[in-house]
Structure 1
């Protein structure tokens, strides 16, 4: 499964881009599209204030969260 890591590069630390596998700067819209297409089964999409973001599926581990400490 490909790891998705938020770059926290938007206003207020939001993710405007994500690191997905060996791609370091995937735009949020592209990452959301890939998750919605089922290309990353360990993630899902949430909508916050009208904006869609990628989130890791819930589990008991923090090491694989999208916004984990780098």
Structure 2
């Protein structure tokens, strides 16, 4: 299960910061770079428009999604 939690703190609820374990308010670009380096198993990067975001790999569970319905 991913420990990455989106903050939904950008325009229209986009994630500009994430909480990762005890690391709070990690900027989106830093998280995306970490995911690309393979530092977060079970996650991938998705590009929406001109921005990249961290996402959990698809599965049947909702409790491990980056956006847990804050």
Q: Identify if the C-alpha distance between structure 1 residues 69 and 56 changes in structure 2 by more than 3 Å, giving closer, same or farther.
A: same
Offset at 1:2?
5.1
Which residues of structure 1 form unaligned runs of 5+?
Answer: none
1:9 corresponds to? 9
SS in 2 for 1:32: helix
Q: 1:41 and 2:41 equivalent?
A: yes
Moved over 6 A (4+): none
Tell me the C-alpha RMSD between the 2 structures: 1.1
Q: 1:27 and 2:27 equivalent?
A: yes
Higher relative contact order (CA 8 A, sep 6+): 2
TM-score by length of 1: 0.94
SS in 2 for 1:31: helix
Equivalent residues of 1:6, 1:66 under 8 A apart: yes
Equivalent residues of 2:44, 2:57 under 8 A apart: yes
Which residues of structure 2 form unaligned runs of 5+?
Answer: none
TM-score by length of 2: 0.94
**Count of paired positions:** 70
